[in-house]
Structure formats: structure tokens, C-alpha cells
Amino acid sequence: MSNLNSLSHFLPELILTVTVLTAVIADLFYHKDESRKVAWWVLGGLALTLFAIQMGGSTVTDLFMGTIALDPFSEYFKILVLIATVLVILTSFNSNELQDYRVGEYYSILAIMVFGLFLMASAIDILMVYLAIEVVSIMSFFLAGYLKKNPHSNEASLKYVIYGAFSSGIMLYGLSILFGLTGTTKFVEMQAAISGLSPDSNLALIISAVFILAGFGYKISAVPFHFWTPDVYEGSPTTITAYLSVAPKAAGFAMLIRFFNQVFGDSSALVSESWQALNQIPWPQLMGVLAAATMTVGNLVAIQQKSVKRMLAYSSIAHAGYMMMALPLMSEAGVYGIMMYLLMYLFMNLGAFFVVIYIQGKTGGEDFENFNGMGWKMPFVGVVMTLFMLSLTGLPPTAGFIGKFYLFAAVIEAGPQYYWLAFVGVLNSVISLYYYFRVVKHMYFIGERSDTVEMPESNLVTIVLLFLAIPTFIFGWYFAPVANWVSESLVIFQGM
């Protein structure tokens, strides 16, 4: 579709652009103490963006001369990003870490990041892939180092920049090799060109795919591209840590699924055993090994952490590994499992981080010791945190159990060659039980019981935690609407 005709279908992104400009201009007129009001401009823009997505229908086409796809698949991930962004903005109102800073640009940068994440979920051209990743990465660098007076935040931002620049360079080199082999930047055209390559091109193709996978693996915190994650998550404002653990990961998986399905898959969308274009290379086995390594490293290192925030950082690596279990299949069931899990993960992981933010504001720290007796002193916070820990472990009747059920079902249905991967996933889930329930142990079995009971002072905190806790519980036993939504979203643009 031509650039001019594409504009009418690009309404959500145009609204985001206007939102960013409005937020930046509005911030000029607010005093430092009133800069939080910029958040309401951003929230209004995000609400309009969501409305525009819902009004867009189920159109499947390409935009801007084949660089961006408009399909239900991308819209699903855009809605996840919007939900995560709104919740993080609302929680930021009560974050003690941001109190001494002017936060107008903080909310503006979040809106810019949403725009980049939208492009990541929709990109079907390697140039757009790179531009989208760079928009998200640069905004992430700013947000990670937003606490300018905090040396840990400065360190997080610096490490993020170094790792980000290195991984982007490697990925760009891989993309350039792929362009040289195929002579095109479009995903669909690349697939056709790769299918016609001679065996002499296999080495270059392997190098290209590995380098590209390194760039994508960096975005989703996959081993061995995960080293930035714990330090960046620990030093960043906790609201941003929560955001980075969910929104970029969702967009990263959307981009990874679309790229490998369309470029290194066969001509059909989401077909089991679709790694046809590189049938001499054991891609499913390699991806399975990466998934097993990611979940194992994340869980084993999480056990050793003394900080709940850092523990959740490593556990987010493990959860990336669980979702990667379905990547070797590249089937409809596998992609369905990833999409289901990401939705469940959004509620339970954001909820866990938001409780850490609240405890951090009350006690001044996020170590396990700061949770001592909190289950008795703050029963509401204790109950919802226990629910989030149960769900992150994957125990019924929680949303985490349903998410893992669909993932493991897809792996097992794929055949005996993947049984080992399912076994590793179950073993890692058992390991995670230790450190998740360590939080529950500190809340209820360590420390003195309190004679007084406290509720969150802010109604907004209570509402946000309830908004996250209720789906975490309800989706554990009633998930038909979510399942139907995911099924309807399994429509990926395959070329005209």
C-alpha cells in the first residue's frame, strides 16, 4: 500500500505521535512540582490509541510500501503494550524514587517507547526492524538512568548502552549479510530468495541467522544475551524495571515470531515443522537448547539473590525461557501458547513488581528482610503478593498455570523429540517454587506479628493491585474469553 493510502490505517501511531508532542509542549508550562500532570495527557492519548486500534477492525494488509504489517497478530501485542504502559504510569504516581525529579519527560519518553514497540510488533522489513529496535533501546537507556542522583541508576544506564550498542551492531551485521544474500529487505521476498539459494550460501546464512538471533535474544533477555538484565533491572527505577520486564519482551517475541516464521519458515503461516527453508540446519534443536539454557540459568541464579527486585529480574529471564520452549515448533499451537502466556505474565509479573514498589516506599528497601511480617501487618498486600508468587510458579488455580499449560501442551503435542524440553521446563518450574515461596515465608513466618492492620494509603495503589490480582486469579479457572481473543489474533500478514 502506498504511503498516502497507509495513513488512514496508521491512526493509532499518529495519535501516539500527537500525544508525544502534546506531552512535551505541556511539560514546558508546568512547574516542577506539577510536572506529574503530563501523565494525564499521555494517559488520554493512550486511551485514544486503544480506541483507534479497536475501531480498526480485522484488516490484514501491508502499510508504507511493505514495511509495516496491519493484522490481528500485531494488534494483540499493541494492546498488551498499552495495558502495561497505563498501569506503569498509574503506579509511577506513588513511586518514592521519582519524587525528587521532574517527571514530565519521563511520561513523554514512555509514550515514545510505546510508538517504538508498536513498530516492533508490526515490522515486516529489516530496515523497520532496526529502526524500531533503536527507538525502543534509546528510550530504554534514558528511562534506566532517569534517577540521575542515584549511582546505581547511572550504572544501569551505562551498562544498558554498552550492551545495547554491541547487540545492535551484531544484529545489523547479520541483517546486512541477509540483505546481501537475498537482495531485498522485505520478509516475504527474503523467504522466497532463501529457498532458491544454493548450498554454498549455507555458511553465510547460518552466520546471519545467529547474529540476528543475538539481537533479538538481547531484547527478550535470552541466554547468553542476558547479562545486561539483572544490573539494569536493579539500578533502574522499579516502575521502569517492571515495564522493561513485560512490554519490550512482548514486542520482542512478536518480532521474533514474525521474522523467523516468515524469513526462515516455509510459505505457509504457523504450520508445524515449518523450518523448511533451512532444512539442513537443526534450528528447532538449537532453539530448544537456548530455551533450556535460558530458563535454567534464570532460575538457578534467582535462588541466590538477596533482593526481591533482583530475584524478579532473574526470574524474568527464566520466564523468557519458558516462552522460548514454543519457538522450536513454530506452529500455531506454539505461537498460541506464547501469546497466552504473555498475557498472563503481564498481570502476575507487573503485580509482583508493584508490590515491591509499595514495600520499597514503606520500608526503604527491597530485600527479602523488608518483607518480614508484611503478611500480618498488611494482609491485603500479603494476599495479593502470595497470589502473584503462586501464579509466577505456575500453580493452579492461577493464570500462570493456564499459561504454562498451553506452553507445555504445545511442546508435548509436537512429538517425542521435544519431550526432553518439556521435562526441563517442569524441572525449572519446581526450582522456581523455592525462591517464589521464600517471599511468602518472609511475609508470614519470619518477623513479629503486628497487632495493627494497614491498608495502602492511596486508593490508586489498591485499585491497581486489584486490577492485576483479579485477572491473575480468575484466568486460572475461567479463561475462555482470553482464549478466543488469542485465537482470533492468530492471523499474520503473509504478503499480497
Helices (H), 196-237: 202-220, 228-235
CA distances from 326 to 117, 231, 256, 321 (A): 22, 28, 12, 9
Whether residue 270 is predicted with pLDDT greater than 60 in this model: the reply is no
Encode pLDDT of 384-439 as tens digits.
999 999 999 988 889 999 999 999 998 998 888 889 999 999 999 999 999 999 99
Q: What secondary structure letter does DSSP report for 449?
A: P
Choice among 256-260, 378-382, 403-407, 455-459 with the minimum mean pLDDT: 455-459
CA atoms of 267 and 325, how far apart (whole Å): 23
Please, what sign has the CA dihedral across residues 447, 452, 453, 457?
A: negative
Which phi and psi (to 5°) does residue 343 adopt?
-65, -45
CA distances from 313 to 142, 171, 233, 367, 475 (A): 19, 24, 6, 13, 24
Cell of 383: 494476599
CA atoms of 336 and 122, how far apart (whole Å): 18
Closest CA to 331 of 272, 276, 277: 272
- Mention every residue, 6+ apart, whose C-beta is less than 8 A from residue 199: 280
Strand segments, DSSP code E, in 195-245 are: none
- pLDDT (mean) for 65-79: 90
**CA 293 centroid distance within chain:** 19
Cell of 298: 534464570
pLDDT of residue 268: 53
CA distances from 155 to 10, 124, 227, 265 (A): 37, 34, 14, 40
CA atoms of 235 and 201, how far apart (whole Å): 44
Cell of 182: 537475498
Cell of 194: 532463501
Cell of 389: 508468587
pLDDT of residue 29: 87
Cell of 415: 512429538
**Model pTM above 0.75:** yes
- β-pair partners for 61: 70
Cell of 157: 544506564
pLDDT of residue 278: 53
| Cis peptide upstream of residue 224 (ω within 30 degrees of 0) | yes
Q: Can you tell me which residue has the cell 506531552? A: 23
| Per-residue pLDDT band at 373 (split at 50, 70, 90) | confident
pLDDT of residue 485: 92
CA atoms of 280 and 26, how far apart (whole Å): 57
| Per-residue pLDDT band at 49 (split at 50, 70, 90) | very high
Whether residue 452 is predicted with pLDDT greater than 80 in this model: the reply is no
Encode pLDDT of 152-172 as tens digits.
888 889 988 988 888 889 999
- Mention every residue, 6+ apart, whose C-beta is less than 8 A from residue 463: none
Closest CA to 231 of 305, 313, 302: 313
pLDDT of residue 436: 93
| Per-residue pLDDT band at 281 (split at 50, 70, 90) | low
Residues 179 and 220 sit within 8 Å (Cβ to Cβ): no
CA atoms of 441 and 124, how far apart (whole Å): 47
pLDDT of residue 272: 45
Encode pLDDT of 133-142 as tens digits.
999 999 999 9
| Per-residue pLDDT band at 177 (split at 50, 70, 90) | very high
Residues 229 and 309 sit within 8 Å (Cβ to Cβ): no
pLDDT of residue 276: 46
Q: Can you tell me which residue has the cell 504445545? A: 410
